[in-house]
Structure 1
Amino acid sequence: MSRKEMILRAATRLFSAKGFKETSMAELSRMSGVAGGTIFYHFKNKEELFLSILEGFKSDIVEEFERYRRERKFDTGLDMIEGTISFYFYLVGRMEDRFLLLHRHDAYELAEVNPLCGEYLQSIYNCLLDIFEQAVQLGQEDGSIAGMPARKTAMIILCMVDGLARFNTYKLYDAGALYNELMQSCRRMLQNNQTQQQEVDSC
């Protein structure tokens, strides 16, 4: 692992555990085992380091979802939505530090004084919205999802999924305990009435 990667990994752990404000570069130097001068060689200040973590987070999310969709085959757009929700929770568990960092209020306080941070945060959520929107549009094309504004629908789904993920991230509630109910709610909201009737008739 390169020194830059060591810095980023340690910084992610510190920012997620203590927040942006409470993390010092001296503490980062101790945790990463990298000298302060070397840290400032790679990142001119703490804000640039934080933005680099956000940028890498977005790239990893896109890469992971692209790989997941290449490897999985979905019969319908509705199936893709359900798979996307499931994979989202998988990533929340696998990238716990970075999702905690994303969910901390520190990031949004920084965004108020640093417009670039706001743009990075928005780009992360926009890429997540794009992922859900693509599945909604596919479902509308194949008839498995009702005709409704795809972007707004994707936003509602993301709010439901990410809201439950936050409970899990903060150890307030086990997301797994509501997983089936979440899936059922999304299915009822999205499913084309004609498809619902066909399922009833087949029972």
Structure 2
Amino acid sequence: MKRDIILDTAARLFAERGFSNTPTSLLAKEAGVAEGTIFRHFRTKDDIFLTLITNVKNQLIDDIEKYLEVREPENALEKVESVIKSFYVFVKKNHMEFSLIFRDAPTRYCGNSEDFFVQIKEIYTYVTGYLCDSIEEGKLDGSILAEVDAQETANMLMATMVGLVRGMHFGFIEPSDNMLKTVLGNFKKVLC
């Protein structure tokens, strides 16, 4: 219970103030716990941050898989669309949590072996891998053009989605009601 309160409070404070500008004393005060309680549950402030990033990754993967299960795409092109939709909706719905990834995570790791980097890379690897597999499947079922390079297209789709949601997050792009529809329509032009 206290662990969850600490995590929820940390997510909010890190999103509002940034990781570096959130001392554990403020975190403890806002969470209504003693500062020592934080360190009974987490070794360091970085450990809290890593737990938050890991939770976001796990929830994103879970949400995509649930969406695909409920949606039951008829063909591989619909799988690609479903992954894009669920990623877009998840990031919009979890704006606060993604501020950690967009703003603070890049400053938390120094190399490719850092735990922060590994967790974020797993998001990219999972989504890109699912897109790539779906594109290959679509080439076989005829819903996607045979000449489409699955890996490069999956990378392009993921980079486009990350850029789009990052731009929205920072206020560089004003989201509209038709944005997702436009994005999906343009992706279909590439794939079909």
Deviation at 1:24, TM superposition (A): 0.9
Q: Deviations over 1:90-148 (max 9, x none)?
A: 111221111121111x3112111672222222122212222322322321221111233
Aligned match of 1:110: 108
**Aligned equivalents of 2:136, 2:45: Cα separation in 1:** 40
Confirm or deny: 8 A CA contact 1:165 1:175 kept in the other structure: no
Deviation at 1:49, TM superposition (A): 0.9
Work out which of the two has the higher radius of gyration on C-alpha atoms and give 1 or 2: 1
Matched AA of 1:178: M
Q: Which moved more, 1:181-190 or 1:108-117?
A: 108-117
**Aligned equivalents of 1:154, 1:175: Cα separation in 2:** 23
**Aligned equivalents of 2:133, 2:94: Cα separation in 1:** 23
**Aligned equivalents of 1:20, 1:168: Cα separation in 2:** 21
SS in 2 for 1:175: coil
**Aligned equivalents of 1:140, 1:17: Cα separation in 2:** 44
Confirm or deny: 8 A CA contact 2:84 2:161 kept in the other structure: yes
- Residue segments in structure 1 that go unaligned for 5+ positions in a row: 192-203
**Fraction of identical pairs, as percent:** 26
Confirm or deny: 8 A CA contact 1:146 1:190 kept in the other structure: yes
SS in 1 for 2:110: helix
Aligned match of 2:74: 75
Q: Which moved more, 1:37-46 or 1:81-90?
A: 81-90
Structure 1: 4+ residue segments shifted above 3 A: none
**Aligned equivalents of 1:30, 1:137: Cα separation in 2:** 52
Deviation at 1:175, TM superposition (A): 2.7
Aligned match of 1:196: none
1:115-134 residue pairs with structure 2 within 5 A?
A: 115-134=114-133
1:25-104 residue pairs with structure 2 within 5 A?
A: 25-104=24-103
Q: Deviations over 1:40-89 (max 9, x none)?
A: 00101111111111111111111111111111121221122222222222
Alignment TM-score, normalising by the size of structure 2: 0.90
Confirm or deny: 8 A CA contact 1:58 1:127 kept in the other structure: no
Q: Deviations over 1:134-179 (max 9, x none)?
A: 3223212211112333222111001111211112212332233533
CA-based RMSD of the aligned residues comes to: 1.7
The total of aligned residue pairs comes to 189
Are 1:188 and 2:184 matched, yes or no? no
Matched AA of 2:160: M
**Aligned equivalents of 2:181, 2:68: Cα separation in 1:** 22
Matched AA of 1:172: F
SS in 2 for 1:75: coil
- Residue segments in structure 2 that go unaligned for 5+ positions in a row: none
Aligned match of 1:169: 169
Alignment TM-score, normalising by the size of structure 1: 0.85
Change beyond 3 A, Cα 1:41–1:132: same
